[in-house]
Structure 1
Amino acid sequence: MGQLTDASVILRFGYQAMRRAGLPTEEILTKAGVALNQIEVNARTPFSAQYAFWTAAEQVSGDPDIGLHLGEHLPLYRGQVIEHLFVSSGNFGEGLKRALAYQRLISDVLNAELVIEDQRCYITNGNSMNVDNLVNRHFSECFMSGVLRFFKFITEGRFQPIFIDFNFSEGASDNEYFRVYECPVSLGQAETRLYFDPSILDYPLWQAEPELLQLHEQLAVEKLQELARYDLVAEVRRAIGSTLESGETTLETVASQINITPRRLRTQLSEANTSFQQILSDYRCRLAKKLLANTNESVERIVYLTGFSEPSTFYRAFKRWTNETPVEYRKRKQR
C-alpha cells in the first residue's frame, strides 16, 4: 500500500466535534491548511494531514488533551456502509467481526482485530500505527471515544469497557481518562487495546435485518474494490514520477515497475474509469504548472523534467491544458 489515507467522514466528524466544542473551527482549519470546501468533498484525505490538524487544534485551543476532549463531542457514527453492515447482523459479535473485515473503509491506519482468550476479550490495533506520537495520541484518544459511543448505541447502553491500554507514554491524568471513558486507562503499553466482557458478543441487535445483510456486504466489497483501484492509480503516479526524466515513461515501463502485465494494467485502469495516458497527462500538467509557478527553472529545463522530447510538443500540450502559453502562465502566477 502506498500513501495512507482516511475516509472523508474522519475530517467531517472532526469538524463537527470542533463546532460542538465551541472551538474556532475556521482558525484551526486555516492553520492546518484545510479549506472549508474540502469537508464537503467525498474524497479520501492523506493520513499525513492529521499531523497539521492536531498540531493546529492543540495550539489554537491551548488544550494538551485536545484529542481526548474532542472525542467527547464526536457525533454518533451513522449512515456509513460499515454501520449498516454492523446493524444488519444478528448479534454484536457478528457485527463486530464484519466491521473489522472492512475497517479500511474508515482509515488505512486501522488494523484492529478481536482477541478472545481465557475469559477475557479485547480489540487491539496492534502496534501498527507507525506515525508521529502527537498524532498517535490525539487520533487514538478521539477515535476511542467514537468507538465506545457507537458500541453503546448499538447495544442499547449495555456495552461497558473494562480497561483501555494505549501505546503512547504521555497522556491525560488517570481521573480525566476515567471521567471520559468510565474505565481505567494504562499508558506506555505495547499495543492499544480495548478490554470488555465477552458476554456482550452474544447480545442480539434490535436493528438486525438479515435480509439486508447480503446487500450491505456487497456494497462494502465494492467500496473496498474502489480503494484498490485508488491504490493502483496512486502507484502508477509514483512510477510515472520516478521514470519521467528518463524519457522512458510508457505503459510498458510503468507496468514492469509495479510488477503487472501491460494488458492487466490497461484493464484495471479502465475499470477505475481512467487510462495510462490520462494519468500521465494529468501528472505532467500538474508538474509543469508547479514548476512554472513556484520556481525559476527555464522552460527548456521544464520540458525535460516533464518528460517531453520536444519543446514544441510541450508547448502544444500546455496550451491544451491551460489555454495559455507556459510564459503567459508563469507571468500571471508569479505576478
Structure 2
Amino acid sequence: MQELRDAGVMLRLIYEAMKKKGVDTDAIFNRLGVDESYVYSDQLRTPHNAQLFFWQVVEDVSGDPDIGLHLGMLLPAYKGQVLEYLFLSSPTFGEGLRRAQNYQRLLSDAAKTDFLIEGDEACMVLDAASDEVRRLKHFNECFVQGLITFFKSITNDSFSPSRIEFEHVREEGTEHVQDILGCDVVFGAEENRLYFPVEMLSHASPHAEPELLALHERFASEQVAKLEKKDIVGLVERIVAELLDSGDVTLDSVASRLGIKPRTLRTRLTEAETSFNQVLADFRYRLARQLLATTDESIDEIVYLTGFSEPSTFYRAFKRWSNMTPIEYRKTAQGKETVAVDV
C-alpha cells in the first residue's frame, strides 16, 4: 500500500505561524529529528499519518491545549502555488473550486475533498485518509482556518464561512472556537464540513484569463504526473521497511517483491529522479533519527533495526549524513545537550 504524503508547503505555513506565536521551533524539530532546512527542502512531502505525532509534540512543547486553533489564526495565506493560480485564472470562485478538485493531490495524497450544494448553502467535505487524522482536533482547527484564509485571499475578502462541522469532540472551549472562526461550529459531526453561501460560487475573479487558465491546468497536470512517477519511491520504502531486518535489502529483492524486473525498477527510480541506493540511504537515515529521537533503544539495536551489519558501518554512515555521531544526535534530539544539527 502506498504511503500517503502531504505537500511540504503545509508544514512551511505552520512553521511560519509557530514563529509568529513564539513557539520554540528548535525544541519541536529536535523531537521530530529534523531542522529548519528540512522544512524548506525542495519538493518536500511529509507522511500524512505523521500529523498525529507532529501535533502531539507541538502541544507538548507549546503547553497550549488549543495550539492548532491558535496557530490557524496566524497562518500565512497559501501563495505562489499552482492551485492558487487555477483559482485566480478561473472565471468564478465556483469554477476554480471545481478545477482544483482535480488536482488535490498537489496538496495531499490524502485529500478527498468533495463539493456539495444544499439549498442556499454550498459546502466542502474535508476528508482525510485515516480516522485518526480526520478526528485530530489540532489538525482540523488549523487546516480549516488555512482554507478560509486562502479563500479570503483569492476573493478579496469576500469569502465568509456560514457554518463549520468537525468530527472531533470538544468538552470545553466551544465558544472560543466559534469566536475565532466567526460562524456556527458543530462538534462530533459525521464529517468535517465547511459551509458557505451558495452565491459565493458565482463570485467573479478579476484575474480570470482563459489562456492563463489553460496554461495553469497543463502545469498542474504535469505536476500530478511527476508525483505519480514518484509513487514508486513510496512502494520501495515500504518493502525496504519489511526487509531491513532480514539483511536482504537489494534492488533485486525489492524488484522481486514488486513483481517487476530489476532493470524496470532502476528505470522507474531514475524517472523519479532518484536511485535505489539513495532511497535506501534516505529511509535508513529517517528511521535512525526517529529511533534515536523518540526511543531509548540501544545503539546496537538501532544498528540491527536499520539493517546495518556492523556498528562501525552505522556510525560512519550516520556521521556522514548528519555531521554528528548517533550519541550526539540522541542527546540533542532528546534535549539533553545543545549541539548544532546539520541535517
Fold shared, TM-score > 0.5 on shorter chain:
yes
* TM-score band w.r.t. shorter chain: 0.7 to 0.9
How far the C-alpha of 1:268 sits from its partner, in A, is 2.3
Deviation at 1:282, TM superposition (A): 7.1
Q: 2:47 is matched with which residue?
A: 46
Residue identity opposite 1:10 in structure 2:
M
Q: 1:322 to 1:204 in 2, by over 3 A?
A: closer
CA distance in 2, matches of 1:288, 1:129: 25
Specify the SS of the correspondent of 1:131.
helix
Distance 1:120 1:331, change over 3 A: closer
Cα distance in structure 2, aligned partners of 1:166 and 1:333 = 39
Contact 1:29 1:56 in 2 (8 A): no
Query: Which residue does the alignment assign to 1:270?
Result: 270
C-alpha RMSD of the superposition:
3.9
Secondary structure at 1:75's aligned position in 2? Answer: coil
Per the alignment, residue 193 of structure 2 pairs with 193
Query: Structure 1 residues 178-187 or 105-114, which shifts more?
Result: 105-114
**Cα offset for 1:287?**
9.0
Kindly indicate whether the alpha-carbon contact (under 8 Å) linking 1:29 and 1:53 is maintained by their aligned counterparts in 2.
no
Structure of greater relative contact order (alpha carbons < 8 Å, 6+ residues apart): 2
State the partner residue of 2:336.
none
Work out which of the two has the higher radius of gyration on C-alpha atoms and give 1 or 2: 1
CA contact (8 A) 1:92 1:205 kept: yes
What does residue 153 of structure 1 align with?
Answer: 153
1:275, distance to aligned residue in structure 2 (A): 4.2
Alpha-carbon separation, structure 2, partners of 1:186 and 1:294: 47
TM-score, normalised to structure 2, is 0.76
Distance 1:253 1:177, change over 3 A: same
Counterpart mapping for 1:216-295 below 5 A: 216-243=216-243, 254-260=254-260, 264-276=264-276, 279=279, 295=299
CA change 1:169–1:214 in 2 (3 A) is same
The residue number in structure 2 matching 1:72 is: 73
Matches within 5 A, 1:1-335: 1-42=1-42, 43-126=44-127, 128-131=129-132, 136-170=136-170, 173-243=173-243, 254-260=254-260, 264-276=264-276, 279=279, 295-296=299-300
| Unaligned 5+ runs, structure 2 | 292-296, 331-343
Which TM-score applies when normalising by structure 1?
Answer: 0.78
Runs of 5+ in structure 1 lacking a partner?
none
CA 1:171 to 1:142, structure 2 compared with 1: closer, same or farther past 3 Å? farther
Name the SS for the 1:94 alignment partner.
Answer: helix
User: Is the CA contact 1:127–1:192 (under 8 Å) kept in the aligned structure 2?
Assistant: no
Secondary structure at the residue paired with 1:208? coil
Distance 1:29 1:296 in 2: 25
- Matched position secondary structure for 1:161: coil
**Structure 2 vs 1, CA of residues 184 and 212 (structure 1 numbering), >3 Å: closer, same or farther?**
same
Q: Residues of 1 paired with 2:238 and 2:214: CA distance?
A: 36
> CA 1:230–1:192 in structure 2 vs 1: closer, same or farther (change >3 Å)?
same
Deviations 1:15-68 (A, max 9, x none): 111122233333333344431221221222223433333223222332211111
Instruction: Give 1:105 shift.
Output: 1.5
User: How far apart in 2 are the matches of 1:140 and 1:286?
Assistant: 27
Which deviations, in whole Å up to 9, do the C-alpha atoms of 1:113-157 show, x marking residues without a partner?
111244432100246432257x72111110101111111222222
User: Which whole-Å deviations, capped at 9, do the CAs of 1:231-258 have from their partners, x for residues lacking one?
Assistant: 2112123324445676876656534533
Change (3 A) 1:172 1:112: farther
The Cα shift of 1:83 comes to 0.9
Contact 2:51 2:133 in 1 (8 A): no
Number of residues of Structure 1 aligned to a counterpart in Structure 2:
319
Cα pair distance change 1:30/1:198, threshold 3 Å: same
